[in-house]
Amino acid sequence: MDSNFELYLETIYGGFHPIVSEFLLKSFICFANSMKTSPSLLNVWFNRIERHVLVTHGSDHPWYAMLCATYMSAQIAVNTSKGLSAGDVIIQTKPMVHIICNEFKGLFCDNCLKREDQLKRCQKCHQMYYCGKECQTNDWKYHKNECKAFRHNDFHRDLFSSEEILLLRLYVSLKSDESFATKRYSLMDGSDVCLKEIIVQKDVLNNMYSDCERMLEFNRVCMYFNAFGIKLGDTQQRQELLNWFAFLSSSPSHVGLKWYSRDMKDYQYFSDKVCRAVSLEMSSLNHSCLPNSAIVTNGLSVQLRALKEIPIGEEITVSFIRLDQSKSDRREALKNDFYVFDCKCLKCELNLDSGVDYKAFDELIAEEIFSFIDKRRIDPNSWSEYDSLSSKLIPYYEAIYGDYHPFLTATLMQQSMTSRMSAMIASEPAFKWKPMLLDYYKTVDQHLRITHGVDHPLFDIFYKVFVKI
Ligand SMILES: [Zn+2]
Ligand SMILES: [Zn+2]
Ligand SMILES: [Zn+2]
């Protein structure tokens, strides 16, 4: 795109003008058709032109839809080059940087995420917990950059959100370790990227400048960083920190990557987010509401697993959002957080979930939460009621998630454990409930093998519960 001509037009028309928008939109259509290999550039231009079209024509104008459609069709798809079966690990990686969320600090090893009672603290700052010498040594390449800040008298962890602690680690590592900034990560679409190249767009930063709340938060972070000896003396350093502040908190497409922020979970309790992490390798995958693969974490390992047979040449997709919501809610979430306009997946296009009554589903979930979560502890008899209620949810989950999905597995597993508990409490004669539970066992076992794999801790937890049958 000829940016000189654009500048020239902007000068003549004083910034925004329908003619400038028209020129930009036409150029974008040509550009998008010819530049199929540069997702980051495509994003930069899309965001820029979007601002113009929104100002001069508004989001209801057909030109806006045309812009979004061009953008979507130009996005690179990751197609598999070999046939995959359900349960295959497509790729496996580790996050480039991670931190333990505040609520779990001291319960898990800061380096390997192992849960342990006897964790050893960093003798200097007393802020980091490790399961052993090896983990401490391995983490030192990151921690050495932040240890001094943690030692400061005014450093109190509760003053910071987990995201801000991650920002601190990311920023100081970038500043003090050139190899961290320039290490290249291969994306699945064949391109590669290093942190140094990730630049949040000016437009996003400008939006942030006008958001008082975000700026107050940023200024607070700067003030603390300064107090802890992380020098933010000149505007350039502040600008750089703002870039990473926006990177961690803004919508992924603003940096030309689609989905890089990961929650690592503790499977002992199913879904607690123990750790926040950034990994780039899978950030070129597109979204589908009926994904054929899913990202599953196990400790610090991040796996992309096939959920069904994927023939050669088919696009590999994941879901960016919660899938247990209606099409309109999904579209809203995708648009707001991921810049995905009008999801074109099969499920959305063919209304494959038109038979799912999301309202009834939401009501059941609410009833489950409000009526039983606390009651079960107090009244053991409520387990059977809880069992029959939560079993009503299973058909919904099956319709929502398809044949296999990690969330469906976790739900089936929870349901089977509830049924087992309920049967135990009812202490019915063994022959009455054993066959049903064995069926459950077989189903969950089969799902676990595909969505999580036999090495996953969930497998162990499930087996330990059921082996007592
Ligand atoms: Zn460890
Ligand atoms: Zn330390
Ligand atoms: Zn969709």
Residue 354 vs residues 177, 283, 328, 396, 400: alpha-carbon distances, Å: 52, 30, 12, 12, 10
CA distance 342 to 427: 51
Q: Which ligand is nearest to the CA of 325?
A: 3
Domain boundary pick from 40, 74, 108 = 74
Q: For residue 312, report the distance from its CA to the centre of ligand 1, in Å.
A: 39
Q: For residue 142, report the distance from its CA to the centre of ligand 2, in Å.
A: 10
Q: Which ligand is nearest to the CA of 123?
A: 2
Q: For residue 427, report the distance from its CA to the centre of ligand 2, in Å.
A: 53
The pocket of ion ligand 2, defined by CB under 5 A, consists of 122, 124-125, 147
Q: For residue 148, report the distance from its CA to the centre of ligand 2, in Å.
A: 7
Q: For residue 168, report the distance from its CA to the centre of ligand 1, in Å.
A: 21
* Residue-range definition of the domain harbouring residue 401: 358-466
Domain boundary pick from 23, 48, 74 = 74
In a domain, 285, yes or no: no
Q: Considering its fold, how many domains does the chain have in total?
A: 2
Q: For residue 110, report the distance from its CA to the centre of ligand 3, in Å.
A: 37
Q: For residue 40, report the distance from its CA to the centre of ligand 1, in Å.
A: 35
Q: For residue 240, report the distance from its CA to the centre of ligand 2, in Å.
A: 25
CA distance 289 to 17: 37
The pocket of ion ligand 3, defined by CB under 5 A, consists of 289, 343, 345, 348
Left (φ > 0), alpha (ψ -120 to 50) or beta: where does 94 sit? beta
Q: For residue 71, report the distance from its CA to the centre of ligand 3, in Å.
A: 16
In a domain, 383, yes or no: yes
Q: For residue 208, report the distance from its CA to the centre of ligand 3, in Å.
A: 29
Contacts 24+ apart (CB under 8 A), 388-392: 389/364, 390/414, 390/415, 390/418, 391/415, 391/419, 392/364
In a domain, 70, yes or no: yes
Q: For residue 238, report the distance from its CA to the centre of ligand 1, in Å.
A: 34
**pLDDT one digit per residue (tens) for the chain, 469 residues:** 566 777 777 788 888 899 989 988 888 888 776 655 456 667 777 878 888 998 999 888 888 888 877 776 676 678 888 889 999 999 999 999 999 999 889 999 999 998 888 999 999 999 999 999 999 999 999 999 999 889 988 888 888 888 899 999 999 999 999 999 999 999 888 888 889 888 887 777 877 888 889 899 999 999 888 888 888 878 888 989 999 999 988 777 677 777 888 888 776 655 578 889 999 899 888 899 999 999 998 888 999 999 999 999 899 999 999 999 999 999 999 887 777 777 888 999 999 999 999 999 999 988 887 776 666 666 777 778 888 888 899 999 999 999 999 999 999 998 888 888 887 777 665 545 567 788 888 999 999 999 999 999 888 888 887 766 5
CA distance 175 to 165: 15
Q: For residue 455, report the distance from its CA to the centre of ligand 3, in Å.
A: 31
Domain boundary pick from 74, 100, 125 = 74
Q: Which ligand is nearest to the CA of 143?
A: 2
Which amino acid, residue 402?
G
Q: Which ligand is nearest to the CA of 152?
A: 2
Q: For residue 236, report the distance from its CA to the centre of ligand 2, in Å.
A: 28
In a domain, 50, yes or no: yes
In a domain, 40, yes or no: yes
Q: For residue 139, report the distance from its CA to the centre of ligand 1, in Å.
A: 9
Read off the tokens for 415: 């349901």
The pocket of ion ligand 1, defined by CB under 5 A, consists of 109, 111-112, 114, 131, 135
In a domain, 328, yes or no: no
Read off the tokens for 12: 């003549």
Q: For residue 132, report the distance from its CA to the centre of ligand 3, in Å.
A: 45
Predicted TM-score (pTM) of the model is 0.82
Q: For residue 146, report the distance from its CA to the centre of ligand 2, in Å.
A: 7
In a domain, 228, yes or no: no
Is 292 within 8 Å of 256 (Cβ atoms)?
Answer: no
Q: For residue 125, report the distance from its CA to the centre of ligand 2, in Å.
A: 4
In a domain, 93, yes or no: no
Query: Strand pairing of 286-287 and 317-318?
Result: parallel
